[in-house]
Structure 1
Amino acid sequence: MEKLSRNSRVVAITKILLENPNKVIGLNTFSDLLNAAKSTISEDIVIVREVLEKLSMGSVETIAGAAGGIKFISAMAEEEKKKFASDLCELLSDKSRVVPGNFIYVTDIMFNPKIISRAGVILASFFQNKGVDYVVTVETKGVPLAYEVAKNLGVQLVTVRRDSKVTEGSTVNINYVSGSSGRIQQMSLSKKSLRPHSKCIFIDDFMKGGGTAKGITDLLNEFDSELIGIGILVDNKESTKKMVTEYVSVVEINSVDDFGTVEMKPSKFFE
C-alpha cells in the first residue's frame, strides 16, 4: 500500500474510532492498515484527540499494557445536550401528538435515526466507566434507543420479550405489575442472552409508574445479575408514585390537560 499523507491518516483514524466507540483498538491495527510506523500513528492520534476534545465531540483514551491501545468515548457538549432536550420538548409538546387518553404519540420519534442517535449519546454519557456489561430493554419501541446506548458503550444489547418464543430456547419467565395499569404482565428472557453476575442498565422510551423497570430488576436477579442504572427518554412526572426512584431521563412531562396542552421540560440533569 502506498504511503498516505498525515491528513489522510487522520481522517481514517477518526472514522475508525467514531465507528467503534468504547472499543480498544491497538496501534498495530492502525499501523498495518495505514502502512505507517507506530510513532507516526501516535502523532496522528494526538491530533485526533485534540480536535475531538476541542469540539466536545468525545475523548480518546490510551489503554496501557500488552493488550492496550486507544478507545473513543463519545460525548456531547453540555449546551448541545440542553438544546437537544429543549428541541425535543418543543417537538413533543405539539397538540397534534396527543391521542385519546391524554397519551403522547412518540413512535415516529423513537424510529428517527437523527434524534435517537443523539439521545443515545446523551444517555450513554451517564453510564460511562460504570463497568456495564449489557444494555437491556423491552420490545419494541425502546429497541432503537437502547441499541444506540449499547453502541456508544461498546456492549451488547439484550431485548426482553413480552412472551416466550420457541426460537429463544430455554427461557426465564416472570410476572410483574404494570406501574401504569396495575395489571399483572409477563416478561421473558432466553437463558442464553447474558452471562451470570453481569452488570446491566435498562433503557426505555417512556416511564410512567416504573413497573417495567422493577420487573427488569427482578428478572435480572434470576440471572444472578445486577441492574446498576436506568435511562429513560421521556419521564412522566404526573405519576408521583413510581416503583423505582434511581434513574436518569432526557425530558419530563409534567401534565397533559383535556385541551391537549402538554407541559414538559428538559430533565433536572440539564439544569
Structure 2
Amino acid sequence: MQRAERLIRLTQLMMERPLHAISLASLAEQWGVAKSSLSEDVATIRQTIADAERGTVETLVGVQGGVRLRSGVPTDERVTFLNNLARTLSEPGRVLPGDFVYMSDVLGDPYVLDTVGRLVAMQFADKAVNVVVTVETKGITLATATARHLNVPIAIVRRDQRVTEGAAISTHYVSGSTRRIQTMSLGKRAMPSEACALIVDDFMRAGATARAVVDLLKEFSAEVVGTAVFMATSQPTTKMVNDYFTLLRVHEVSEHGANVQPALT
C-alpha cells in the first residue's frame, strides 16, 4: 500500500469514529506495513489536522499502541456557523404560541447536527463522559451527534414508561413552561455503572426539565458533569441548574420574530 493511500485511509478511520482508539499494531498487520511507517503517517496527519484546527490526534500508550482523534472546529468556521444559525432562527414567522422558536427544520439538517455535536463534544471532551443523556424527542438527534464525537452511548429519558425499556426509575416534576406536573422515566439498563453523564437538550427556558433529569440521575448514583443545550433564553437569568452550556441565546421574542444571538464566541 502506497503512503498516500495509507494517509487517506488512516485519516478516514479517525474522522469516521472520533475518540475511538485505533490500534496501529493491528493496522500494520492488516495493511502489511511496518508500524514505524504508520507512526510517521500519524505524525503527518496530526500536524495537518492541528494546522487546520480540525481537532487533535492523540497517541495512546500501551503494548498495542494506537491513536484517536478528538474532534475540533476551526474558529472562523464556528463563528460563521453560529452567526448563520442565529440569523436563520431570528427570521420573522418562527415564533410559535407560548413564545417558542420553531427549530425543527434547522435541527433536521445533518450538517447542523454534526457541527453542534462537535462543538458540544469539544466543550466536554476532558470531563470523562461515559454516557450522554437526553429527553425524548427533540433532543435525541442532538444527543446522538454529541455522543458520536465523544464515542459514548446515549440514554433516552422517556415521558412515559415503556415495556420495551425494562425496569425503570420514574420521577415527577413541574414543567417550567406549562407549570404542569409531568413524569419522566429512565430504564435501569440504559445507564452504565459508575455513570458520568452529560445532559443534552434542544432548548432551555427555566431549566426545569434539566433539573428533573439531574434529580432522576441521582437515583442511578450517576455523576452529572454538565448540561448542554442548543438554545437557551436570556430570561430568567437564573436557571434551575447551576451550570449549563449553550450555543445560542434568545433575548427577545415578539410577533415580529426572535432576537437570537450566538452565546459561544
TM range (shorter): over 0.9
Structure 2 counterpart of 1:7, one-letter code: A
SS of 1:107's equivalent?
coil
Give the C-alpha shift of residue 196 in structure 1: 3.4
**Which residue of 75, 84, 87 maps to 2:84?**
87
Structure 1 counterpart of 2:221, one-letter code: D
Structure 1 residues 1-271: aligned runs within 5 Å: 4-66=1-63, 68-257=65-254, 259-267=255-263, 269-270=264-265
**Deviations along 1:62-102, whole A, 9 cap, x unmatched?**
01122541110000122221211111000101112122333
SS of 2:197's equivalent?
strand
Q: Is the 8 A contact 1:139 1:159 kept in 2?
A: yes
Structure 2 counterpart of 1:236, one-letter code: T
**Deviations along 1:215-263, whole A, 9 cap, x unmatched?**
1111111001111111111111133342113011101000112x32311
For the residues of structure 1 that align with 2:95 and 2:174, how far apart are their CA atoms?
26
Give the TM-score normalised by the residue count of structure 1. 0.94
Alpha carbon RMSD of aligned pairs, Å?
A: 1.3
For the residues of structure 2 that align with 1:33 and 1:95, how far apart are their CA atoms?
56
**Deviations along 1:25-53, whole A, 9 cap, x unmatched?**
11123213322110111111111111111
For the residues of structure 2 that align with 1:191 and 1:262, how far apart are their CA atoms?
40
- Which range is displaced more, 45-54 or 7-16? 45-54
User: Runs of 5+ in structure 1 lacking a partner?
Assistant: none
SS of 1:175's equivalent?
strand
Q: Is the 8 A contact 1:232 1:249 kept in 2?
A: yes
**Deviations along 1:183-241, whole A, 9 cap, x unmatched?**
21111111111123211010011101101110111111100111111111111113334
Query: Structure 1 runs of 4+ off > 3 angstroms?
Result: none
**Deviations along 1:152-201, whole A, 9 cap, x unmatched?**
00111111100100111111011112122222111111111112321101
Q: Is the 8 A contact 1:24 1:68 kept in 2?
A: no
Q: Is the 8 A contact 1:178 1:209 kept in 2?
A: no
Give the C-alpha shift of residue 113 in structure 1: 0.4
Q: Sequence identity of aligned pairs in percent? A: 35
For the residues of structure 1 that align with 2:64 and 2:191, how far apart are their CA atoms?
24
Give the TM-score normalised by the residue count of structure 2. 0.96
- Which range is displaced more, 93-102 or 152-161? 93-102
For the residues of structure 2 that align with 1:250 and 1:29, how far apart are their CA atoms?
39
For the residues of structure 1 that align with 2:178 and 2:249, how far apart are their CA atoms?
20
SS of 1:89's equivalent?
helix
- Which range is displaced more, 20-29 or 234-243? 234-243
User: Runs of 5+ in structure 2 lacking a partner?
Assistant: none
Structure 2 counterpart of 1:94, one-letter code: E
Q: Is the 8 A contact 2:18 2:70 kept in 1?
A: yes
For the residues of structure 2 that align with 1:50 and 1:196, how far apart are their CA atoms?
37
Q: Is the 8 A contact 2:56 2:69 kept in 1?
A: yes
